Structure 1
Amino acid sequence: MKRPGLAALLAAAVVALLPTTAEADVTYPDPLPVTGRQIIHDPTVIRLKSGGYVAYSTGGVIGARLSKDLKHWQDAGNAFAEPPSWWYEYNDTGDPWAPDISYRSGKYWLYYAVSSWGSNHSAIGVATSPSGRPGTWTDHGKVFASERTDSWNAIDPALIKTDGKLWMAFGSYWTGIRMVELDRSTGKAREGAPVHHLATRPDAPYAVEGPDIVKHGRHYYLFASYDQCCSGVNSTYKIRVGRSTSVTGPYVDSTGKPLLEGGGDLLLAGHGRYVGTGGQSVFRAKGHDWLAYHYYDAEDEGTPKLGLNKLHWTADGWPIAR
């Protein structure tokens, strides 16, 4: 779950009172129909080697959902039975946020963040599992951390392996999206590795967070959530995207505007009952790329629910949600 500071909350409250073009725009696709346990926040989804799908999310001790077909989802408890003790260094409740699941080296890797609202005293941790199923995870502690003296916030991890290297994008407010190289054997940040800057906005509170990076063709695509999360029907979250020929950037949108200067093509925004679309991740299944995200259901008191759409790619290589 994304946690802006006080300045961010005040700025977002003003924005929430203003009409947005997204509210009137009818061109964005509705999420595909799902049934069962739909309540979710910041979903990360993967197809399991054993069959079916698992989605992990903010809430609980990393909440879990299982599905056989991406349509019907059932509650599957939590990744962990209890919070690892080190989480309490970063908040009083041992509450983890915004997980990211991937598979490599014969096992599943689950990255997640622990922090508290309005603070960048934050850390990203990692756990591994032979099956990827809830209750099978072994925690391995901190991967990377940030302190109040840093200009970034170590939450919202997203992994990408490319060209023999392992990278982690992360970031929320505090000048936006960053990236650091990880050690492939430990899954933790390489000692002394530089922190790359991928995206920000020219105006405080730099409301961009929740990165996810995928490769399509010769480009890397950075998906990120912009504006205000976590306010139910007053949320203004939306998903933007840019691309680069290098995983570390620079990323630009389709007009050539750098994401470090506030650029980013609008991929999906709130419309109708589907408010505040964001907290996204991209996964591969059934021969397609899929976009998973949460939205706040305006017809159900702003309850956060699972959104799924297929991603299609234009002839010139830009993603479109369908």
Structure 2
Amino acid sequence: MNHPTGIRGAMVLAIAGIGLLAPDATSAQRPAAISLADTMTGDIAPVHDPAIIRQADTYYVFSTSRPREEAGQIPIRISKDLIKWTRAGAVFAQMPDWAKREIPKANGIWAPDISFQNGEYRLYYAASTFGSNHSVIGLATSPTLDPNAPDYKWTDKGAVIASSLASDFNAIDPAAFTDRDGKAWLAFGSFWTGLKLIRLDPATGLRATEDQKVYSLARRTNSDAIEAPFLIEHGGYYYLFASNDACCRGVNSTYYTVVGRSKDVTGPYVDHDGKPMMQGYGQIVLHGNLDPSHRWRGPGHPAILHDGNRFFIAYHAYDAQHGGIPTLRINPIGWTGDGWPVARP
């Protein structure tokens, strides 16, 4: 998928539906809408690879560890309104011993995912080194997210899936999902042959024993730069969000977020025009070129919050006004008449 075609398609969706990705003919005559993301305050940077969930009246964001900047592994942030955010400790004081033994050169835990399954909160996380697919995805659980609750405690469950230099995939960027039939899945993947999916045991959150297949969900054809899958269900479809191109380069990041949908959780996922994500296509949801301020570069690594009857997309973007620091951003998601998600202000 080339950028101009994808961006034009995103604008068509935004104008035809309820999204506000592109200005209309009268936008110069009225003030631009203030986006939720632009009202966010507090401890929202540095935040990379956010995962988001709500428990009771509190929203929680977990993100990639930044050992030289923050204490602990997998920092936690909390908010009552999605706007004002504060730090609330970390999941681990240090990397679990087994992960350090498995990936000796890893200096931090990456790309957490948070969900509530089988009466417990399950946090999947990755350990790796940049540019290598010698990687592992682990699992930690807690009965609650409230650090003031008497039963608050993260228990590490060890490895879920690993990849080696001989693998054709990279076991990072996990995202757990339960389908309409109650089957538990884990999407993951970064570069190599793209995004993958495996079955989980719903009772434990670990890999299922009855189905050991690694399913392929999406890949690039002119580049292998695709990662950070996230699955949701809406209106009879499964939607696969993903991030393309280069993250982690500050203001020079070219990351952007796409989506495809399928009637089957294992695919095939296609874009608005029916073109398959396994051939590099995807409908654009977030892109730096769609930001009229040109401030927010490389928006990606999305996590979707389903909050009552509302959907939100949380992601990081690099702030060109503050040295390219990765910053937490959240936008509401609207839906077009034909069922495509659109990031709204």
Q: Distance in 2 between matches of 1:273 and 1:164?
A: 41
**Offset from partner CA, 1:140-191 (integer Å, 9 cap, x none):** 0000111111110000000110112100100000111000001112211123
Q: Distance in 2 between matches of 1:279 and 1:91?
A: 25
CA contact (8 A) 2:270 2:276 kept: yes
Aligned match of 2:191 in 158, 166, 173? 173
| Match status 1:159 vs 2:138 | no
Q: Which residue of 1 aligns with 2:60?
A: 54
CA contact (8 A) 1:172 1:208 kept: yes
Q: Which residue of 2 aligns with 1:76?
A: 88
Q: Which residue of 2 aligns with 1:218?
A: 236
Q: Could you tell me which amino acid in structure 1 is paired with residue 127 of structure 2?
A: V
Q: SS at 1:118's partner residue?
A: coil
Q: Which residue of 2 aligns with 1:13?
A: none
Aligned residue runs from structure 1 range 77-156, under 5 A: 77-88=89-100, 89-133=102-146, 136-156=153-173
Instruction: Tell me the number of residue pairs that the alignment of Structure 1 and Structure 2 aligns.
Output: 300
Q: Distance in 1 between matches of 2:222 and 2:40?
A: 37
| Match status 1:33 vs 2:2 | no
Q: How many angstroms does 1:90 deviate by?
A: 1.3
Q: How many angstroms does 1:119 deviate by?
A: 0.7
Computing the radius of gyration over CA atoms, which structure comes out larger, 1 or 2?
2
Aligned match of 2:216 in 177, 191, 197? 197
Q: How many angstroms does 1:132 deviate by?
A: 2.0
CA contact (8 A) 1:112 1:156 kept: yes
Q: Could you tell me which amino acid in structure 2 is paired with residue 315 of structure 1?
A: G
Q: Distance in 2 between matches of 1:82 and 1:172?
A: 24
Q: Distance in 1 between matches of 2:145 and 2:83?
A: 19
CA contact (8 A) 1:87 1:95 kept: no
CA contact (8 A) 1:54 1:133 kept: no
| Match status 1:43 vs 2:50 | yes
CA contact (8 A) 1:242 1:251 kept: yes
Q: Distance in 1 between matches of 2:272 and 2:198?
A: 25
Runs (4 or more) in structure 1 with deviation over 4 Å come to: none
Q: How many angstroms does 1:203 deviate by?
A: 2.0
Q: SS at 2:281's partner residue?
A: coil
CA contact (8 A) 1:208 1:224 kept: yes
**Offset from partner CA, 1:74-128 (integer Å, 9 cap, x none):** 0112111222101212143541100000002111000011100111010100010
Q: Distance in 2 between matches of 1:314 and 1:284?
A: 17
Q: SS at 2:216's partner residue?
A: strand
Q: Once the two structures are aligned, what percentage of the paired residues are identical? A: 47
**Offset from partner CA, 1:272-305 (integer Å, 9 cap, x none):** 1010100110011253100000000000000110
Q: SS at 1:247's partner residue?
A: coil
Q: Could you tell me which amino acid in structure 2 is paired with residue 188 of structure 1?
A: L
CA contact (8 A) 1:228 1:235 kept: yes
Question: CA 1:294–1:91 in 2, change beyond 3 Å: closer, same or farther?
Answer: farther
Q: Which residue of 2 aligns with 1:310?
A: 332
**Offset from partner CA, 1:14-34 (integer Å, 9 cap, x none):** xxxxxx979xx9729953420
CA contact (8 A) 1:62 1:79 kept: yes
Q: Which residue of 2 aligns with 1:6?
A: none
Q: SS at 1:233's partner residue?
A: helix
Q: SS at 2:286's partner residue?
A: strand
Q: Could you tell me which amino acid in structure 1 is paired with residue 217 of structure 2?
A: L
Q: Where do 5+ consecutive residues of structure 2 fail to align?
A: 1-5, 12-20, 24-32, 67-72
Of 218-227 and 85-94, deviating more is: 85-94
Q: Which residue of 1 aligns with 2:30?
A: none
Q: Distance in 2 between matches of 1:32 and 1:263?
A: 29
Question: CA 1:225–1:76 in 2, change beyond 3 Å: closer, same or farther?
Answer: same
Provide TM-score, normalisation by structure 1.
0.89
Q: Could you tell me which amino acid in structure 2 is paired with residue 136 of structure 1?
A: K
Q: Let me know the Cα RMSD of the aligned residues.
A: 2.0
Q: Distance in 2 between matches of 1:216 and 1:286?
A: 13
